[in-house]
Structure 1
């Protein structure tokens, strides 16, 4: 089980900005459950999600080279039935005030399901 975070490398974000955006993407999985349910317990998660949350909590960060590639990965993951969280930065500290899609998180789910979508990507 793992979660894969795909980060746009073409934006040349500062390292701290990349880390913050990746954290937003990873946390979106939990935030969506909280918004949906109001409060959550482990019973609100699938068996795979429960194992991921209570054990390894594995995350892999991969490089994406354009917004088009980011959106293509997003669409493939959605089509495969995976949980996907696309992050759009509002542009307050970078990107000249323009909302900018920076990264996405896929999963958590079984590694073999996610690898069909992201296995070809370079590690960040």
Structure 2
């Protein structure tokens, strides 16, 4: 079991902003997962990977692929209080789900 969080590299987020957006995505996707997935993931150590995303379009495409496969997802839009314009898509969480299911969606991306 794992969760992959894809964070955009093209919007110029600082490290703190990046960390916050990744955390928002992780928690939001976790909350969308059913009880069985959540329990399995928690028992397995809540494995996560953070990956590089190129664009808003890419995050939307990955989200659609994961949703078609029944994997919990969360697309994060920034509130715009600090570095980014309101509504800027910053991150996508895919999972928690079985490693191979998450890898079918995000396996071609580079680690952050």
Q: TM-score range by the shorter chain?
A: over 0.9
- Structure 1 pair 31/83, CA: closer, same or farther in 2 (3 Å)? closer
2:109 counterpart residue number: 121
- What is the DSSP-based 3-state SS (H/G/I as helix, E as strand, rest coil) of the residue aligned with 2:74? strand
CA distance in 2, matches of 1:94, 1:102: 11
Q: Which TM-score applies when normalising by structure 1?
A: 0.84
CA shift for structure 1 position 32: 4.6
> 5 Å matches for 1:29-108?
29-32=29-32, 45-46=35-36, 48-95=37-84, 97-108=85-96
TM-superposition CA deviations, 1:73-97 (whole Å, max 9, x none)? 11111111110011101111012x4
CA distance in 1, matches of 2:88, 2:28: 17
Structure 2 regions of 5+ residues with no counterpart? Answer: none
Structure 1 regions of 5+ residues with no counterpart? Answer: 34-43
- What is the DSSP-based 3-state SS (H/G/I as helix, E as strand, rest coil) of the residue aligned with 1:72? helix
Regions of 4+ moved over 4 Å: 30-33
The higher radius of gyration belongs to: 1
Q: What is the RMSD of the two structures over their aligned residues, measured on CA atoms?
A: 1.5
Number of equivalenced pairs: 112
Q: Which TM-score applies when normalising by structure 2?
A: 0.92
